[in-house]
Amino acid sequence: MKKIHAIVFDLYGTLYDVHSVAGLCNTYHPGRGLEISTVWRQKQLEYTWLRSLMGQYVDFEQATRDALVFTSAHLKLPLDDAARTALCDAYLEIKPYPEVPDALGRLQALQLPLAILSNGSANSIRRVVTASGLEHRFQHLISADSAQIFKPHHSVYKLAEDQLQLERSVILFVSSNAWDASGARHFGYPVCWINRAGNTFDELGQSPDHVVAGLDQLADWLAGQSD
């Protein structure tokens, strides 16, 4: 792998815990919060992939709301308009994983440009990083909105290459989503897969260049590379 000149992160599930909304879900249907959050997240992903294949793009916030409506109907757990709005708003303030704030500081200290490339809309990315107080860590917040299609389509990954004005071979892409890591590796980025839960990597003809259990381990690894 070539010397890394920049790092691009996925946002949802990589830097930020999508299931941090489970607590609020639980207030509407006690004991079912994590179940709601899990189905909601899976359907949200499916809707981005299906919308891309259908050529019917909507922004991530609409896909998220549609997925919540499905989840409520599928689990037979009713949510009125106010509850759906509150939950979707909570998705704009999901929490970073515990190790992320410190690890981002350590990575920034390596003098590497840091960026986010997300299926989230420009508004949702900005809202999430601002709510957590981490906006100063990133030089670029890049949204799939600019390509009008979602990852893992190659045109979304190209947005980061174009924005950073670097060859893809020197941009490290970091994701905890194996499908996303596979898409980025297929595009030509070197990839670090964050595998916090001990999952199995998808069989999509690609393999990550490096695997860590948390962002702190990535900071350790890159700091060692620069010594």
Long-range pairs, 57-62, Cβ under 8 A, ≥24: 57/148, 57/149, 57/150, 59/121, 59/124, 59/145, 60/118, 60/119, 60/120, 60/121, 60/124, 60/144, 60/150, 61/88, 61/121, 61/123, 61/124
Residue 127's alpha-carbon distances to 99, 111, 134, 152, in angstroms, are 20, 25, 11, 23
Q: What share of the chain is helix, strand, coil (3-state, %, to 5)?
A: 55, 15, 35
Beta bridge pairs of residue 192:
174, 210
- The residue type found at 29 is H
Is 10 among the catalytic positions? yes
> By three-state DSSP, how is residue 145 classified?
helix
Which listed residue (10, 59, 145, 180) is catalytic?
A: 10
Catalytic residues: 10
